[in-house]
Amino acid sequence: MKKVLVTGATGFIGTHLVSALVKNNYLVCILHRASSNLEAFLDFGPAVTYVSGDITNQESINSAVKDKDYVFHLAGLISSSRKDKNLMKKINVDGTKYIIDACLKHSVKKLIYVSSVVAVGASSNKEILNEESVYDDKLNSLSYFDTKKQAEELVLFAVHNQNLPAVILNPSTVYGEGDIKKESRKLQKLAAMGRLPFYTQGGVSVVDIKDVVNAIINSITLGKIGSRYILSGENIEIKNLLECISDISGTRAPFLKVPQFLFYILGFIGDILSYLKISFPFTLEKVKVASLYHWFDSHKAKKELGFTTGTAKDAIKKSILWSKKNNFI
């Protein structure tokens, strides 16, 4: 049985990935912080082991990577607040560098870096991007985008200059059972409860968590060293996304389109309040991200990883039904 390490295992994608790895007869080791909730893994018994550590600590990373055949690096910090920029760099960029160094030191068979489509970028004109699209530095000048792009550059540098066996996966907006727990799903939750009257311009690419996890596992044997693979689904407008959520939930859909200037004012107010540690649903970075079009083409992953996708509605339905069943909405 192959031994694998998963960082970021307690996150939405990570939890589903660990379950799938166990079902595929891998012995899974989870790197986790002392404060992490590990309840989701208790039923797996000896198939899952645990190493307490931190992604920003090279010593704990080395200990966790030792004797592993494969490493799945998912750990990262997502924030739309400018005050978290340095922390995101420490976790997303420096943490990835520690993972790379440990994988090289212990000669792992392959590093699978599960990044994000934000490292590919976004567009303002509904352009559908792919792995070869040129990253627009000005348009995508957002802290989270920048750190994920920098982390990918470190991985690719190590591939080409240090013979690191690694592939990069870029999931888009992932929906499925348990996603309601994500911090980024606050507005979708409001829509599901019929408490969101407005919508904005922009678009997302919705993909099912099951399809993403299958592609991640397939990348162990099918992923080409040094390649990036976008794992995206159906490209839809924000308006259509919220209408779909409302329709499945049986609630009133958002009906008021917010003018961009007003949206940015709310973001500016949110930035000020964030420094005062006052909770507010908007920041300037969050407003900018929501206003862009995150539309992608996953043809490469379908061709090389056997990646398959369903409809956005089916993925969203799984999310809503699970959330209702577990009393999150």
Q: What is the pLDDT of residue 271?
A: 87
- pLDDT exceeds cutoff 80 at 222: yes
Q: For residue range 155-202, list pLDDT tens digits in order.
A: 999 999 999 999 999 999 999 999 999 888 888 999 999 999 999 999
- pLDDT exceeds cutoff 90 at 263: no
Cα–Cα distance measured from residue 155 to residue 44, given in angstroms and rounded to the nearest whole number = 31
Give me the count of residues in the chain: 329
Mean pLDDT, residues 58-67: 95
Q: What is the pLDDT of residue 202?
A: 95
Does residue 218 contact residue 305 with C-beta atoms inside 8 Å?
yes
Q: What is the pLDDT of residue 73?
A: 98
- In terms of C-beta density within 10 A (0-12 exposed, 13-18 middle, 19 or more buried), how is residue 243 classed? middle
- pLDDT exceeds cutoff 90 at 274: no
Homologous superfamily assigned to 3-177+205-235+295-310: NAD(P)-binding Rossmann-like Domain (3.40.50.720)
Domain ranges in the chain? 3-177+205-235+295-310
Q: Please report which residue ranges of 66-208 form alpha helices under DSSP H.
A: 85-88, 95-105, 143-162, 186-192
CA distances from 166 to 72, 79, 109, 110, 163 (A): 10, 26, 9, 5, 9
In which region does residue 125 sit, left (phi positive, over 0), alpha (psi from -120 to 50) or beta (all else)? alpha
Cα–Cα distance measured from residue 159 to residue 146, given in angstroms and rounded to the nearest whole number = 20
- Enter the pTM of the model: 0.94
Q: For residue range 113-167, list pLDDT tens digits in order.
A: 999 999 999 999 999 999 999 999 888 888 899 999 999 999 999 999 999 999 9
